A and B are shown apart, each in its own frame.
Chain A
Amino acid sequence: MNQYHPFILPFFIGFLAMLVILFVRYALWFRGFSKENRKRIAVGLFTTQTLLAIKEVGAEALLHLKIYRTNPVLGFMHMSLAFGWFLLILGGKLESWYFTGDFTNPVWYAIFLRYFEPDSTHLMYHGVFLFFMELALLMVLVGVALAFTKRLKKSILRIKNTTRHNFGNKMALYALWLIFPLRLLAESVTTAAHGGGGFLTASVGVLIPQSWAVESELYFWWAYSWSLGLFFLALPFSRYLHIPTEMVLIFLRRWKIEPASGFNPDKGLQAFEVHSCPGCGVCLDVCPAINKTEIAFQSAYFVNQVRRGNGYEQTSGMCLNCGQCDEVCPVGINLENLRHQTRSKIFNQASFNHSWMPGSMVFWRETTEVVLFTGCMGRLNPQTTLAVKNLLNEAGVSFIHMDEEESICCGRPMMLAGAAESAKKMMDRNRENILAYHSKVLVTTCPICYKIFKDEYNLEIPVLHHSEYLWQLIDEGKIVREKSALQLAYHDPCDLGRGSSCYEPPRKVIDSVGQLQTLSRQREKSLCCGNNLGSLSLSENERQNITANTLKVLTLDNPDVVVTACPMCKKTLQRQSQVKVTDLAELLWETHPSNSLKFSKKIEKSRFLAEVK
């Protein structure tokens, strides 16, 4: 039985080249793992985590369930391509095994089987194989058609933004588009020439004259082989590297590999992460800054720039770290972390002077149960601080306001800017400062501080955001309010919501004084206010575009007040808003019976101004 023809060479050479290149690249990346991480791999390999990883590869790399959940049509496209192709490979192998009774056939034999064995009618159940294989081919072809349509008209796939590609990626993309239509043609021409074929190839084959088919059959197989070869050759140099890399990443994540600090896109976990990005564009549609800035800096582009090794210097600082892309990334790349590490590389040269920090600290202070920390943004929002203090007094809580004594920055802005070492200096000093009070709980009005207190400080005492504490005081009956007819729209601060999973307490506080509106983008999907303490390069104008859009969403149902729980969100939204913007503590204090008359007058005034407009 003949199992070789020269037309298989383009495929085979391309395939071999891909394997060698992949092996070398992966080996280099693996060498970048720290000792601890290598140990984790060795231990993890023989645990159930490996089995779970295999399951996850099936669910994500083949079926693409996460993309499917975000966008069914886009998910179906990826699934048809990946799972369909997988079925073709699997089916081909089984079929060739069945044909020859030998499992170890040459690689190309299974792929070009229809050329070598056009007629299989002499075998039992040959129809089952044929039907299965052609169904899989049809599935892939549907995927290709969708991908093609996506390039032509993205709205059909219900996506607003699609990634733009460079030359190398385009070459790989076009080769990929050609592979399966060419396979269909080659198999159909062979069917026309020699008979046989399933529901797909036989139907197409009927349209082809037999004499012509016999003559030109080989041209189609050559073309099919070339398209495969070119695609495989281009794969390690294109974004399609994500296909094998994403699978490796799933295993690495299951084995609990930890990211190294610093910017190393060619070493270890970061290398695997960076090359796992399929550029699917899910991060584009959710980004609050999409189409609002001169330069697109969204994660899909940013990761691509990191891969290319240039351009990221400019874009990494523009992001406002709202965490929306991190939340939806179907591959689960730590995008926020990658940005911080990139910034660390950029800000490495900058030297920060910390001589202003107080030299020696007091280790014992007068103590109370509650220490209130309002931070730098609290200083820019004295109204919020005042309201919280009034509310604590109203509830009869004894507290110390740290910022009145001495307080320094929580360190998060430095962290966001990539200056991890400077941040650490502040954090250490601030930690000493906080613990010197020996209080039972730390309450902060700032979600930016809140997140770092909770995640990085190891404070040994509970840290509460003021929304959580105020809700507790309401719940305990220490603060009592009458629910009014006020229409209230709540803006989820990124660091409180997505950053710290605190969605309910602020809503409960707001709900206790008025009517909480439902918004088109809220909770995990809430938009960014347009500001960030760590982003240094996004222009004021671009920030204002983001803010304007967020305000549009917040005020769609004509709320009386826009409420937020972050001093920075408040300040950013407030200056551009026609509707009153306030912190929930201010809302709660201003709806106190002694203030409520004054408050309703204020709202009437802002209503009037909005209507005059």
Chain B
Amino acid sequence: MSQKNNNIKQVAIIGAGPAGLQAATVLSQNQVQVLLIDKQAKTGGHLEKWSHLFPDSRPSNEILKVLQQGIQKENIQFFKNKRVSKISKSNGQWELGTDDGLVINSDAVVIATGFNTFDAHQKEEYGYGIYPAVVTSENLESIFKGETTWPFNSSGKDLRFGIVHCVGSRDAKCGNLYCSKVCCVTAVKQAIELKKKFPGATVYCFYMDMRMFGTGYEELYQEAQTKYNIQFIRGRLSEASPSQDNRLQVKAEDTLLGRPAKLTLDMLVLMVGMIPAVSLEMKNDAVYLNQPAYGSSFITPDDVFLKMNHHQQAGLFITGACKGPASIPEVLQDAKATSIEVLNYFNNKIK
């Protein structure tokens, strides 16, 4: 980006999901030239794959539309299908290198790489990728959107669905000890949605604890029990296997009753947790964006109280779910906060 005007500052934002889009919107409104980069061809990240959002069943494309309109500006340039692999700084200028050799220069960098969903194949005992009736929470959203079909005979009677919480979260064996935070309320939301689609169906949720942290979440959980009669069973699922009648048989333990449970289901939904999309490595004054390995952690801010949006290196900012599991509203607020910090940095208010 050689035609650079000295009065206008440039910021590179890595990731065009909700966080990246929100930061791009705020920064461009404040006369910053934005270079938005994403590994995919479209903006929107995971939001693009979701049908409706908790807790109020808002269609996700309503939110997405607003965010995408925010970047329809002259001072925003979108680089699609570019995977940034290295960031380095020299003479106050940042240089971003991509896998395919492109080099992008800017005055500040915002990392908004977000998360990946946990690869459910790793929990082979749940049969994802082996039995078609086992889907992830992400797959279910695409069914809700009408992009894929139900993995069972949807005109059948007495349908039974199971939802497994904490798949790939709070699981030392997967290397992830943390809670992915949003899956509990997603499970409640999806259970209600299933019940609305199939009023005669029975829906079982297998949970460890219900973590209803946000406004309106606990109310939604109450409603799921009282109004929709969703069955919450405390206990982890041990395995899924095909049943005699070609449905699914799952085994679990009801730890409140202290006895084993064996159920036949038409569909099993795995609440896949969040894992980092990149893992940062500092080497020779450069920052490398690596593919996360087993047990890789999310990006740690410079100070979890006071510099939540800063990386240790001045001019490098981090925002959104790349720092750890977060909901859409949280991510949007965080992106706005990050934008203010970027502007302060440009105005030499912080070092």
Interface residues of A (CB under 8 A from B): 356, 379-383, 386, 540, 544, 571, 574-578, 609, 612-613
Contact = CB atoms under 8 A, between A and B. Distances in A.
A381 B124 contact: yes
A32 B290 CA distance: 63
A571 B125 CA distance: 10
Contacts of A577: 294
A576 B173 CA distance: 9
A613 B293 contact: yes
B290 A383 contact: no
17 contacts: A356-B260, A379-B125, A379-B239, A380-B124, A381-B125, A382-B124, A382-B130, A382-B239, A382-B241, A383-B124, A540-B172, A575-B174, A575-B175, A576-B295, A609-B291, A612-B291, A613-B291
Contacts, number: 41
Contacts of A612: 290-291
B313 interface: no
Contacts of B238: 379
Main secondary structure of the interface of B (DSSP, over half): mixed
B127 interface: yes
Nearest first, the 9 closest Cβ-Cβ pairs linking A and B are: A380-B125, A540-B172, A612-B291, A576-B294, A613-B291, A379-B239, A382-B130, A381-B124, A382-B127
B175 A544 contact: yes
B290 A571 contact: no
Nearest to B177: A540
Interface string B52-85: 0000000000000000000000000000000000
Contact of A382 (B125, B173, B291): B125
How many interface residues does chain B have, given as a range? 10 to 19
B344 interface: no
A609 B260 CA distance: 39
Given A382-B241, A609-B291, 15 more contacts: A356-B260, A379-B241, A380-B239, A382-B124, A382-B125, A540-B172, A544-B175, A544-B295, A575-B173, A575-B175, A575-B294, A576-B294, A612-B290, A613-B291, A613-B293
A575 B127 CA distance: 15
Contacts of A540: 172-173
Contact of B293 (A379, A382, A578): A578
Contact of A613 (B125, B127, B239, B290): B290
B93 interface: no
Contacts of A578: 293
A576 B175 contact: yes
A401 to B, nearest CB: 11
B122 to A, nearest CB: 6
Contacts of A356: 260
Contacts of A382: 124-125, 127, 130, 239, 241
Interface string B117-144: 0000010110100100000000000000
Given A382-B130, A613-B291, A574 B239 contact: no
A577 B294 CA distance: 7
Nearest to A540: B172
A382 B121 CA distance: 11
A571 B173 CA distance: 10
Given A383-B130, A544-B175, A574 B291 contact: no
Given A380-B239, A540-B172, A571 B291 contact: no
A386 B239 contact: no
Contacts of B295: 544, 576
A356 B238 CA distance: 17
A129 to B, nearest CB: 68
A540 B174 CA distance: 10
Interface in B170-193: 172-175
Contacts of B290: 612-613
Contacts of B260: 356
Nearest to B131: A382
A35 B15 CA distance: 78
A81 to B, nearest CB: 47
B327 to A, nearest CB: 28
A544 B176 CA distance: 13
A612 B277 CA distance: 13
Contacts of A613: 290-291, 293
Nearest to A609: B291
Given A379-B241, A380-B239, A386-B130, A571 B124 contact: yes
B71 to A, nearest CB: 28
B258 to A, nearest CB: 11
Interface string B230-265: 000000001101000000000000000000100000
Contacts of A576: 175, 294-295
Contacts of A379: 125, 238-239, 241
A383 to B, nearest CB: 6
A406 to B, nearest CB: 12
Nearest to B292: A613
Identify which of A382, A571, A612 gathers the most chain B CB atoms within 10 Å of its CB: A382
B122 A574 contact: yes
A529 to B, nearest CB: 13
Contacts of B175: 544, 575-576
Contacts of A574: 122
B347 to A, nearest CB: 37
B293 to A, nearest CB: 6
Nearest to A570: B124
A575 B275 CA distance: 14
B122 A575 contact: yes
Contacts of A609: 291
Nearest to B122: A575
A386 B172 CA distance: 27
Contacts of A571: 124
